[in-house]
Amino acid sequence: MKKLLIVLFTLLSSLSHAQDKINYTSEELSINKHIDGTLLLPKDVKKPNLAIIIAGSGPTDRDGNQNFLKNNSLKKLAINLSNNNIATYRYDKRIVKQLKSNTLDKDIMFDHFVDDAKSVLDFFKKSNNYNKIYIIGHSQGSLVGMLAAKENADGFISLAGAGQPIDQVIIEQVNKTAPNFTEDTKRVFGILKSGKTTTDYPIALASIFNIEIQKFMINWMSYNPTEILKILKIPILIVNGTKDLQVSEAEANLLKAANSKASIEIIDNMNHVLVDIEGDDLENSKSYAETQRPLSPKLIHILVEFINK
């Protein structure tokens, strides 16, 4: 019995060390004055495939974190891919750099994020160091990524990306969580859609309609993800989780319907920060600020298989 326990312990230890093994090198790399990021290069691969990872909404950094929501989702994604011989580049959104240097540009637009993604893609295309280059866009980054990918990328992956314009997504979210504000939300979005701004909104909706972000919102809501995805002529993978509190499976299905050649994967129990949730919404919400959770193993398998196809 003692010998059996020793064998089991040795086996488990070797598996643990194998999972912890680092199969890549790391380099801090600035693309231009707006973009700072981290490049992971798999060891002993002369010309690997590269995945450019684009973060979601808000002041989200290269690791997938915001001030009080640290989960390292995008950092873990990059590490998992690079340990599977796929180079990765993840970068801070320009608003993160501005906040760090106290030089916030109040005129920042959604299109600036698209310009940044295009700059990153152009930089790596010109280097000629990679076999194929894929864009992975998470949440808001899905829309940013598909707009950037249509010119030069070899493939596009949407992680928890919306299939509707952002105004329709928010209206649905408000209707579910605070239905008494649904009509006000529709009214204000109607004003914004006409190209005008307004201060006539309930204070409870200030986080959505703050006057300082309304021009950004007008720019963002002008894009319809399905209209963009339908014209992409590159391999497309759409991924969503059944435990995503922010982006439902229905959004992924809308994207799939827009492009018949796209592949779709719905991962049981995966949530918006790409980890598996077995419990209730409380556990789900808490995971946004937990770094110890591993990413969904199925997600990594699906992405590696798609990129290396």
Give all strands (DSSP E) within the chain, no chain letters: 24-32, 35-42, 50-54, 87-91, 133-138, 155-159, 236-241, 263-267
**Spatial separation of the C-alpha atoms in residues 298 and 276, rounded to whole Å:** 10
Q: Evaluate whether 170 touches 251 at the Cβ level (below 8 Å).
A: no
Q: Is the pLDDT of residue 152 over 90?
A: no
Q: Which pLDDT does position 20 carry in this prediction?
A: 53
What is the model's pLDDT at position 74?
98
pTM: 0.91
More confident position, 36 or 14: 36
b vs e for 186-213, b when ≥16 Cβ sit within 10 Å of the residue's Cβ? Answer: eebbebbeeeeeeeebeeebeebbeeeb
27 DSSP β-pair partners: 39
All domains of the chain in start order, with CATH: 24-164+224-307 (3.40.50.1820), 166-222 (no CATH)
- The tens digit of pLDDT for each residue in 91-145 reads 999 999 888 888 777 789 999 999 999 999 999 999 999 999 999 999 999 999 9
In this structure, are residues 96 and 67 in contact, taking their beta carbons and an 8 Å threshold? no
> Does residue 83 contact residue 21 with C-beta atoms inside 8 Å?
yes
> With bands split at pLDDT 50, 70 and 90, how would you rate the model's confidence at 46?
very high
pLDDT at 12 over 80: no
Cα–Cα distance measured from residue 240 to residue 253, given in angstroms and rounded to the nearest whole number? 9
What pLDDT score was predicted for residue 15?
Answer: 38
| pLDDT 10s digits, 183-226 | 999 999 999 999 999 999 999 999 999 999 999 999 999 999 99
DSSP labels for 110-142?
Answer: HHHHHHHHHHHHHHHHHHT--S-EEEEEETHHH
Distance CA 158, CA 145 (A): 8
Mean pLDDT to the nearest integer, 285-304:
97
Per-residue pLDDT tens over the stretch 220-260: 999 999 999 999 999 999 999 999 999 999 999 999 999 99
